Amino acid sequence: MRSLNRLAIALSLAFSAVAAQAGEAEIKKTIETQFVGSKVQSVTKTPYSGLYEVVLEGPQLAYVDEKANYLFMGSVLDLKNQKNLTEERMQKLTAIKFDTLPLELAIKTVKGNGSRKIAVFSDADCPYCKKFEEELKNVKDITVYTFLYPIDSLHPQAGMKSKQIWCAPDKVKAWEDYMLRGVLPKNEGNCDNPVAKTAELGRKYNIQGTPAIVFSDGRRVPGMIPAPKLEQMLEAAGGSVGGKSGK
pLDDT tens track for 127-161: 999 999 999 999 999 999 999 999 999 999 999 99
pLDDT(244) > 50: no
Question: Bridge-partner residues for 116, per DSSP?
Answer: 142
- Which one is predicted more confidently, 100 or 2? 100
Angle between helices 195-204 and 158-166 (to 10 degrees): 120
Distance CA 156, CA 167 (A): 19
- Please name each of the domains of the chain with its CATH number: 4-89 (3.10.450), 98-236 (3.40.30.10)
Q: What tens digit of pLDDT does each residue of 214-229 get?
A: 999 999 999 999 999 9
* More confident: 34 or 99: 99
In this structure, are residues 152 and 159 in contact, taking their beta carbons and an 8 Å threshold? yes
Q: Please report which helix (H) or strand (E) contains residue 106, including its range.
A: none
| The pLDDT of residue 189 | 93
Any idea of the CA torsion for 216, 204, 163, 182, to the nearest 10 degrees?
A: -60
Tens digits of residue pLDDT in 59-115: 888 888 877 677 788 888 989 889 898 888 888 888 899 999 999 999 999 999 999
Q: Which tens digit of pLDDT belongs to each residue from 158-196?
A: 999 999 999 999 999 999 999 999 999 999 999 999 999
Helix axes 127-136, 171-181, angle to 10 degrees: 110
- Among the residue ranges 131-135, 200-204, 233-237, 239-243, the one predicted with the least confidence is 239-243
